[in-house]
A and B are shown apart, each in its own frame.
Chain A
Amino acid sequence: MALTQVSSNKCAGGFQKVFEHESTELKCKMKFAVFLPPKAETDKCPVMYWLSGLTCTEQNFITKAGSQLAAAEHGIIIVAPDTSPRGCNIEGEDENWDFGTGAGFYVNATQDPWKTNYRMYAYVTEELPKLINANFPTDPDRMSVSGHSMGGHGALICALKNPGKYKAVSAFAPICNPMQCPWGQKAFAGYLGSDRSTWEAYDATVLAASYSGPQLNILIDQGQDDQFLSASQLLPDNLIAVCSEKKIPVVFRLQPGYDHSYFFMYSFMNDHIKHHAKYLNA
């Protein structure tokens, strides 16, 4: 598949690039950001996939999250795709900030008019890795996933639904139990229909309850002053309860004073990349 470089900036000794390509899953042009650490010039590097949250594009993460220095230090390639297909001209796609454009929810939609384009789950787990492995000096066996908010939800479900595929997983303020929160309910209803049983396949809390596979070590940071936490959109307690029950190792850190913004992510990004590096570089 042809990749077109959109931009390239030297950063932290490596290169922060943005590419565009024609996606087969999403049937539109998609952009994604790639950070190539200095090590990538000589060696194959592991890859961390970063899934952004509602309303974000491939730009927010690379400009605000402060990931490049740590990625360069640990020799990790970070790939950050967009959060939904764009320019598909689907009616109603731009009506809501939490559904449609910029709110793909990392599912494969089954309902019209979304099902043709809104296949972010397949894009992130299948098409994108293939593309990345074909075009960049990667070690295809070593990949991990992380994300924020909706992207946190995406990271968790990718890891839980693909035992062994991701060597590490972490999340910032993830939507842990979408079936039980307004955001999730709105999105799943729209993308997956009213049969709630079909939602379970994309709910981290539900998936954790039935997870069996190689041990996952999940790191979650959550700002204590996050308005969406208090608005019961995120529901981390539910996930923790299930993981405690199922003995899935989770370290969940409630960070006092922090909110839902990139400022919060920036503050703990190093810890997360270090967490990923431990498993990717093992």
Chain B
Amino acid sequence: MDLYEIRGGRLDVIAEEGELSRESTTMETYNVAAGSGARTARDVSTFQRFSIGTNESLRFEPCEASTPSPTGAEDGCGDDDDDDDVFKEEDTESEINSIRNRLQGKVVEMENFAGHLEEIFLTVEENFGRQEQHLEQHYNDVLQTLSQRYDERGAALEEEKKSKLEALYKQLLACGRALDSSKELIESAQEVYRSQDKRLFLKTVMPTVKRIEEYAKEDPDLTLATRLEFNTPLADLSDVKTMMDSINVVPAPSAPVINPQMPNSATQTSLRVCWSLFSDDTVEYYELYYRPVLEDTPADSTCAPHESKVKVKETHCTVTDLLPNAQYELWVTATNTTGISPASEKALYMTVPSPPVIKQRECTSCPEAALIRWDSGNTNPVDSYTVELSETETDGTESSITESIVAVPSCQCLIQLQAGRRYLISVRAVNIGGPSDRSEVITVSTTGTFFHLLEDTAHPCLSISEDGFTIFYGDEELPISAMALDDNTFFTRCVAVLGDLIPVRGRHYWEVEVDDGTEFRIGIAYEDTERNAYLGANSSSWCMRHILSPTRHKYEFLHNGWSPDLRITVNPVRIGVALNYDRGTLSFFNVNLEQHLHTFQCNFQSHVQPCFSLDNPGALTVHNGIEAPEYAFM
């Protein structure tokens, strides 16, 4: 804090906000009397008073005009007449204001610092608490182990004692029995001796004597069955020892916690990975492992995806050099002097996709809408696409307002627009990693209807110019291979091609430029019109036909093979075609004369496409993106 700088002198004590026990409820004001000594006479009651009990901690006292300049310059201004020197007054006022502001800033800084200190204090407490817990647990473990050992040993001794006692007891019993039997023997001998019956005595005395003799020969076994000492094996307390030792040692870290992917943190080729410590471990460095997740896991483990490793000191890392729109598996370990932690859980991250590529030749528009088509730009699927559009300003620059259409599921989008404007449209591919970069921008003008020709539908003898709007029929032989094909994509008899009209029901207008000698058919057809038929010959197409005969020009307006009988005196070379879905009409005009030629009344069951064909070698050019003249939709 550099308040001293400003003050140049006395710093009164700032009361701690927390010390409510303090008697004084206001802070002592501090003087700004730098340079010169304190001016008691003209004390400037300056800027801030901290009143604890109120909200007025930043109440400003208006400064008196006679404030001395803070830089210490002797003030000629301050002394007496304030009214005299207006400029100096203002000067000092503004200086005072700036001092005031700086002091304000300093106070805010101090408050922040105090807050920060509080936080640190709390963290230390937390850490201490954790350490305490940790220690307690550790010692508890040791104690538990010891008491377990004690119990074990005790139990073993108990067992031994029991078995010894049993053995001795058995011996005792055996002795008892021996005693009993010898007692019995003696008694029976005595009985024999005492018996009066001499004859009986003679009979039994000899066996009895024999028995006694035999018995006397037996050596009683007088050895003890067991030893009297107990087995005292050495107690194995080595693990307790290691446990005690380990209390003093920093434990190896536990597995870190890897965060899930944050939105908008990935780019096409990089991922920003973050993790945190599980507990308050000491960590020297982390190692982040990552490998791509492949679609099909090969059976052969030698073809496993390559695993990469990055060593970092922070708890975050930006991994680069990755593939776009790819999924990666990441995990992290923490290492300190003791060892390496177990690996964290594996997290799945995804890089952002590559930007899509708009297919310029497949975009169409009309005054109310545009249909944009694009290539994904990624080999693997993405989640969705976002289409962004902005109007160009009158001077051609891009407007700052962009409209976004999100969650577009496929590679095309029909956008509602307003007539007569120019739009800049781009597309992004989106996956869980976020949106890709913007694709190249396409400019769409909603003046008139705009479309390209569907080159896939062109008869093999029809060639299309580079810009895609002029068709030529050279006098070539139809290749046999083309005739053999029967799929309904391109025209095989009528040298025709379809246009890619936007599928929006409304009004569409385009013009066709021909020359006097071109035999053509131009009009509209349903998309599935028979490719082996001539335009106008069936119920799925309507067209204006020009036939050149040796004597004159003939014009037909064909549908279902039928045409009204019309004569036109001036051959149209620029023909306007006006399609009105709502009214169900298709009109043809001689544009140069603004002359209406013919109108078909139709009932369009589905969307139609413009169609163009050449009946003899020649060329015709399609012009679109033209605002329909008033008479076209009268």
A interface residue numbers (CB < 8 A to B) = 215, 217, 219, 224, 240, 243-244, 247-256, 274-275, 277-278, 282
**What mask results when residues 557 to 593 of chain B are scored 1 for a CB within 8 Å of chain A, else 0?**
0000000111111100000000000000000001001
Whether the Cβ atoms of A251 and B564 lie closer than 8 Å is: no
- List B contacts of A224 (CB < 8 A): 565
Q: Tell whether A240 pairs with B567 under 8 Å between CB atoms, given A215-B593, A217-B595, A251-B596.
A: yes
- Inside 8 A of A215's CB, which chain B residues have their CB? 593
Q: B249 an interface residue at 8 Å Cβ cutoff?
A: no
B594 at the interface (CB under 8 A from A): yes
User: Closest CB of chain A to B401's CB: distance in Å?
Assistant: 38
Q: Is the interface of A mostly helix, strand, loop or mixed?
A: mixed
Q: How far is the CB of A258 from chain B (nearest CB, A)?
A: 11
Q: Which of A247, A255, A277, A278 contacts B570 (CB 8 A)?
A: A247
| B569 adjacent to A248 (CB under 8 Å) | yes
Contact partner, A249, options B565, B566, B595, Cβ 8 Å: B595
Whether A244 touches B634, Cβ cut-off 8 Å, given contacts A215-B593, A217-B594, A249-B593, is no
CB distance from A182 to the nearest CB of B (A): 24
B567–A249 contact, CB under 8 A?
no
A151 to B597, CA, bound (A): 23
- Report the minimum CB–CB distance from A221 to chain B (whole Å): 10
Q: Mark B497-514, 1 if CB is under 8 A from A, else 0.
A: 000000000000000000
> How far is it, in angstroms, between the C-alpha of A277 and the C-alpha of B593 when the chains are bound?
16
Give, as a whole number of angstroms, the nearest-CB distance from A209 to chain B: 13
Query: Ordered nearest first, which 10 A-B pairs have the shortest CB separation?
Result: A254-B565, A243-B569, A252-B567, A250-B569, A244-B569, A249-B570, A249-B593, A249-B595, A217-B595, A240-B567
Residues of B within 8 A of A219 (CB): 596
A244-B552, A274-B634, A278-B596 known; A251 and B568 CB under 8 Å? Answer: yes
* A275 close to B569 (CB less than 8 A): no
Expressed in whole angstroms, the Cα–Cα distance for A10 and B529 within the complex equals 50
Q: Does B87 contact A (CB under 8 A)?
A: no
Task: Report the minimal beta-carbon distance from B120 to chain A, rounded to whole angstroms.
Answer: 85
- Say yes or no: B631 contacts A240, CB within 8 Å: no
A249 contacts B569, CB within 8 Å? yes
Complex Cα distance, B565 from A240, in Å, reads 14
A248 to B630, CA, bound (A): 22
B631 and chain A: residue at smallest CB distance: A278
Seed contacts A217-B595, A251-B597; 5 additional CB < 8 Å A-B pairs: A247-B569, A250-B570, A252-B569, A254-B567, A278-B631
Query: Max chain A CB contacts within 10 Å: which of B565, B569, B634?
Result: B569
The answer for the CA separation of A243 and B594 in the assembled complex, in Å, is 17
A264 to B11, CA, bound (A): 111
A184 vs B55: C-alpha distance when bound (angstroms)? 110
Whether A277 touches B595, Cβ cut-off 8 Å, given contacts A224-B565, A249-B590, A253-B565, is: no
Count residues of B near A (Cβ-Cβ below 8 Å): 18
Q: How far is the CB of B604 from chain A (nearest CB, A)?
A: 21
28 contacts between A and B (CB under 8 A): A215-B593, A224-B565, A240-B569, A244-B552, A244-B569, A247-B570, A248-B569, A249-B595, A250-B567, A250-B568, A250-B569, A251-B566, A251-B595, A251-B597, A251-B598, A252-B566, A252-B568, A252-B569, A253-B564, A253-B565, A253-B566, A254-B564, A255-B565, A277-B634, A278-B594, A278-B596, A278-B634, A282-B631
Give the CA-CA distance A282 to B629 in the complex, in Å.
11
Q: State whether A248 and B634 are in contact (beta carbons under 8 Å apart), knowing that A253-B564, A254-B565, A275-B596 are contacts in the complex.
A: no
Given the complex of chains A and B, what is the CA–CA distance between A253 and B569 in angstroms?
Answer: 12
- Chain A residues with CB under 8 Å of B590's CB are 249
Complex CA distance for A240 and B566, rounded to whole angstroms: 11
B522-570 with Cβ < 8 A to chain A: 552, 564-570
Whole-angstrom distance between the alpha carbons of A247 and B564 in the complex? Answer: 22
Closest chain B CB from A3 CB (angstroms): 33
State how many angstroms separate the Cβ of A125 from the closest Cβ of chain B: 25
Query: Contact: B569 with A217, CB < 8 Å?
Result: no
Min CB distance A73 to B, Å, is 11
Distance in angstroms between the alpha carbons of A139 and B564 in the assembled complex: 36
Chain A nearest Cβ from B367, distance in angstroms: 22
Q: Complex: how many Å from CA A253 to CA B593?
A: 18
A193 to chain B, nearest CB (A): 32
B593 touches A217 (CB 8 A): yes
Q: CB-CB < 8 A to A243: which residues of B?
A: 569-570
B596 touches A254 (CB 8 A): no
B576–chain A nearest beta-carbon distance, Å: 13
Q: Complex: how many Å from CA A247 to CA B595?
A: 13
What chain A residues lie within 8 Å of B566 (beta carbons)? 251-254
Q: Are B570 and A256 touching (Cβ within 8 A)? A: no
Given the complex of chains A and B, what is the CA–CA distance between A243 and B564 in angstroms? 20
CA distance A176 to B565 in the complex (A): 18
Bound Cα distance from A127 to B62, whole angstroms: 95
A256 to B565, CA, bound (A): 8
Q: B47 CB to closest chain A CB, in angstroms? A: 76
Give CA–CA (A224, B597) in the complex, Å.
19
B630 CB contacts on chain A under 8 angstroms: 282
User: Given the complex, which residues of A lie within 8 Å of B634, measured CB to CB?
Assistant: 274, 277-278
B265 to chain A: closest CB distance in Å? 63
How far, in angstroms, from A254 to B557 measured CA to CA in the complex?
Answer: 13
Q: How far is the CB of B553 from chain A (nearest CB, A)?
A: 8
Among B564, B567, B570, the most chain A Cβ lie within 10 Å of the Cβ of: B567
Minimum C-beta distance from B454 to chain A (A)? 32
Closest-by-CB residue of B relative to A218 is B569
B554 to chain A, nearest CB (A): 12
Cα A249 to Cα B564 in complex, Å, equals 18
- For residue B551, give the distance in angstroms from its CB to the closest CB of chain A: 11
Residue of B nearest to A237 (CB): B567
CA distance A251 to B569 in the complex (A): 7
Contacts of A278 in B (CB 8 A): 594, 596, 631, 634
In the complex, residue of chain A having the shortest beta-carbon distance to the beta carbon of B597: A251
Which residues of A lie under 8 Å from residue B595 when comparing CB positions? 217, 249, 251
Q: What is the bound-complex CA distance between A240 and B596, given in angstroms? A: 17
Q: Which residue of A lies closest to B566 (CB)?
A: A253
Nearest chain B residue, comparing its CB with the CB of A220: B567
Using Cβ atoms and an 8 Å threshold, which residues of chain B touch A248?
A: 569-570
Give chain B nearest CB distance to A255 CB in angstroms: 8
| Closest CB in chain A relative to B319 CB, distance in Å | 69
Q: Mark B596-634, 1 if CB is under 8 A from A, else 0.
A: 111000000000000000000000000000000011001
Q: Report Cα–Cα, A251/B544, bound state, in Å.
A: 14
What are the residues of chain A within 8 A of B631 when measuring CB–CB? 278, 282
User: In angstroms, how far is the closest chain B Cβ from the Cβ of A111?
Assistant: 34
Q: Please, which residue of chain B has its CB at the minimum distance from the CB of A254? A: B565
Within 8 Å CB of A282, what residues of B? 630-631
A236–B569 alpha-carbon span in the complex (Å): 12
In the assembled complex, the CB of A250 is this many whole angstroms from the nearest CB of chain B, namely 4
Q: Mark B237-265, 1 if CB is under 8 A from A, else 0.
A: 00000000000000000000000000000
A174 vs B87: C-alpha distance when bound (angstroms): 99
| Least CB distance, A74 to chain B, in whole angstroms | 9
Bound together, the chains give a CA A275 to CA B631 distance in angstroms of 10
B564 touches A244 (CB 8 A): no
Chain A residues within 8 Å of B565, by CB: 224, 253-256
Inter-chain CA distance A275–B594, complex, in Å, is 11
What is the bound-complex CA distance between A224 and B564, given in angstroms? Answer: 11
* Most chain B beta-carbon neighbours within 10 Å: one of A217, A244, A249, A274: A249
Closest to B553 in A: A244
Within 8 A of A (CB), among B24-80: none
Q: Which residues of B contact A252 (CB under 8 A)?
A: 566-569
Which residues of chain B come closer than 8 Å to A251, judged between CB atoms?
566-568, 595-598
Measured CA separation A274–B596 after assembly (Å): 10
A46 to chain B, nearest CB (A): 15
Least CB distance from A192 to B in Å reads 28
CA distance A252 to B569 in the complex (A): 8
CA distance A282 to B569 in the complex (A): 23
